């Protein structure tokens, strides 16, 4: 049976190779299985949990949509929309925040990381962010949610919220309990400068990530400058112990080539690093620079993006407003 897929990406700019390999590449593969129905959301309500400049936010919503389209998400096959256009998300989020428990939210590690030392100054939105994420997913009866490893805990919370709603209101199976879809390998792409840190849009060093808007020369330069170590290329996967940078680069190669890490290790064992880096740079440029060209093209004249978001939000509205209406009826409104 086909899957009902929902996933979201925040429009916070600088989407990178980690987002592509960990999430968006999967979105496209899931969409291309005709049995699935897919909804992909630019989660702009999530973005304002930290301060945003309105003009930059507006551009980032378009840019994230352009990344979806340029990566191969097709508005004729998937619903593409931005969250703030469908008011059911905020409405359902309130209802579910009365179901979720403080104790559950207090365990969320992403809040602890993002709020940092001064928790008192974090927005309430940042704290309840996973409840909005649950609303996103549950409104569409999603059965499967493709995300990177870092979102696993939020998915578990969505499952708990769905189950508690169904049991509190004696409506078994009304909210569908979603399964996370996390790739077994390559679900965490690391910084090019530090193999122990995730590749991240907020890293101050631009050399730490390949942005999906980087051109061919920028990509090649960044791979050449990526950190490695003084040992030779490994010939077995246990040769990668304590070599996170090399493991990450081989993982990027394997993932973009749709092959296993073991095969990449075999391919390069005995090679020197510069040969490997040349091949890797070539592959990343071959896969990413067409995407970056297409993004730039789409952003030059954004009427197409605006039209796709408008049409997508109408379709999403149709599904989500029905679900929230049923929720309200169950609650007794």
Considering beta carbons, is residue 113 or 118 the nearer one to ligand AMP?
113
Distance separating the N- and C-terminal Cα atoms of the chain = 35
73 contact choice in ligand AMP, ligand TRP, none (CB below 5 to 8 Å, kind-dependent)? none
Q: Which residues of 64-77 are buried (b: 16+ CB within 10 A; e: fewer)?
A: bbbbbbbbbbebee
Left (φ > 0), alpha (ψ -120 to 50) or beta: where does 215 sit? Answer: beta
Determine which residue in the list 43, 70, 128, 223 makes contact with ligand TRP, applying CB under 6 A. Answer: 43
Min dist CB 151 to ligand TRP, Å, is 5
133 binds ligand TRP (CB under 6 A): yes
Q: Among residues 142, 129, 13, which one has the least CA distance to residue 79?
A: 142
44 binds ligand TRP (CB under 6 A): no
Considering beta carbons, is residue 82 or 166 the nearer one to ligand AMP?
82
Burial of 202 (0-12, 13-18, 19+ CB in 10 A): exposed
- Show the site string, 134-173: x = touches ligand TRP by CB under 6 A, - = not: --xx-------x-x---x--x-------------------
Given the residues 3, 114, 193, 293, select the one marked as catalytic: 114
Given the residues 3, 164, 193, 201, select the one marked as catalytic: 201
Given the residues 198, 222, 287, 323, select the one marked as catalytic: 198
187 binds ligand TRP (CB under 6 A): no
Q: Which residues bind ligand AMP (CB under 6 A)?
A: 9-10, 18-19, 22-23, 147-148, 150-151, 187-189, 198-199
Min dist CB 26 to ligand AMP, Å, is 9
Q: Is 198 a catalytic site residue?
A: yes
Q: Is 201 a catalytic site residue?
A: yes
- C-alpha distances out from residue 67 to 15, 27, 216, 260, 296, Å: 8, 12, 17, 26, 10
Phi/psi for 123 (5° steps) reads -70, 155
Sign of the CA dihedral 18, 19, 23, 29? Answer: negative
Concatenated DSSP letters for 158-187? HHHHHHHHHHHTT-TTSS--PEEE--SSSS
Residues forming the active site: 114, 198, 201
Give residues in contact with ligand TRP (CB under 6 A).
6-8, 10, 43, 46, 133, 136-137, 145, 147, 151, 154
């Amino acid at each position: 049976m086909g899957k009902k897929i929902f996933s979201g990406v925040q429009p916070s700019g600088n989407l990178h190779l980690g987002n592509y390999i960990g999430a968006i590449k999967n979105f496209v593969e899931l969409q291309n299985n005709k049995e699935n129905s897919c909804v992909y959301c630019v989660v702009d309500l999530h973005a304002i949990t930290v301060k945003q400049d309105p003009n930059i936010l507006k551009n980032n919503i378009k840019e994230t949509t352009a990344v979806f389209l340029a990566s191969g998400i097709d508005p004729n096959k998937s619903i593409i929309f931005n969250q703030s256009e469908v008011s059911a998300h905020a409405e359902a989020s309130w209802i579910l925040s009365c179901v979720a428990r403080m104790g559950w939210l207090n365990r969320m590690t992403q809040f602890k990381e993002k709020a940092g030392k001064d928790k008192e100054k974090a927005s309430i939105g940042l704290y309840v962010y996973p409840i909005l994420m649950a609303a996103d997913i549950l409104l569409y009866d999603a059965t499967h949610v493709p995300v990177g490893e870092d979102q696993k805990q939020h998915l578990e919370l969505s499952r708990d919220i769905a189950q508690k709603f169904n049991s509190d209101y004696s409506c078994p199976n009304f909210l569908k309990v979603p399964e996370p879809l996390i790739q077994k390998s390559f679900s965490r792409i690391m910084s090019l400068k530090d193999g122990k840190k995730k590749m991240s849009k907020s890293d101050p060093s631009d050399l730490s990530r390949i942005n999906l808007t980087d051109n061919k020369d920028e990509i090649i330069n960044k791979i050449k400058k990526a950190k490695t170590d003084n040992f030779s290329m490994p010939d077995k996967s246990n040769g990668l112990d304590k070599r996170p940078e090399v493991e990450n680069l081989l993982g990027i190669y394997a993932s973009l080539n749709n092959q296993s890490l073991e095969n990449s290790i075999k391919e390069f064992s005995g090679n020197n690093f510069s040969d490997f880096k040349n091949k890797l740079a070539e592959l990343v440029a071959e896969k990413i620079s067409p995407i970056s060209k297409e993004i730039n093209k789409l952003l030059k004249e954004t009427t197409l993006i605006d039209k796709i978001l408008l049409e997508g939000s109408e379709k999403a509205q149709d599904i989500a407003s029905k679900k929230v209406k049923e929720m309200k009826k169950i609650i007794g409104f």
